[in-house]
Amino acid sequence: IFFQIFDAFKSRLHDSNSKVNQVALETMHKMIPLLKDNLSPVINMLIPAMVDNNLNSKNPGIYAAATNVIQALCQHLDNYLLLQPFCTKAQFLNGKAKQDMTEKLA
């Protein structure tokens, strides 16, 4: 059921409606400290949904919410869970998002 919940939730993380997208990112930011390493089964599915488009967003609210989510992941999850998905994202992103992900990896 955990996968079903987050599978449905991930589409909200890159919703075409910017308000829905921002609220989903803000909600994810609140959930991370509560779920912590329990997110490990779905982290490879969630990171692309949280990072793609959001870290390159021209909407300051979406960009801020996305960077807060990435920061919360770094604070509350073991780094080994984040290493592979962050490396993959840093490799294939461009612009500000690539810079942000590279800085987090460093």
Q: Which residues of 39-57 are buried (b: 16+ CB within 10 A; e: fewer)?
A: beebbebbbbbbbbbbbbb
Q: What pLDDT does 1 receive? A: 78
Element (H, E) at 62: helix 60-76
Q: Please give the tally of structural domains in the chain.
A: 1
Q: Indicate the pTM of the whole model.
A: 0.92
pLDDT of residue 11: 92
> Cα angle at 72 between 68 and 73, to 5 degrees?
120
Domain that holds residue 1: 1-104
- Per-residue pLDDT tens digits for 36-92: 999 999 999 999 999 988 999 999 999 999 999 999 999 999 999 999 999 999 999
pLDDT attached to residue 21: 96
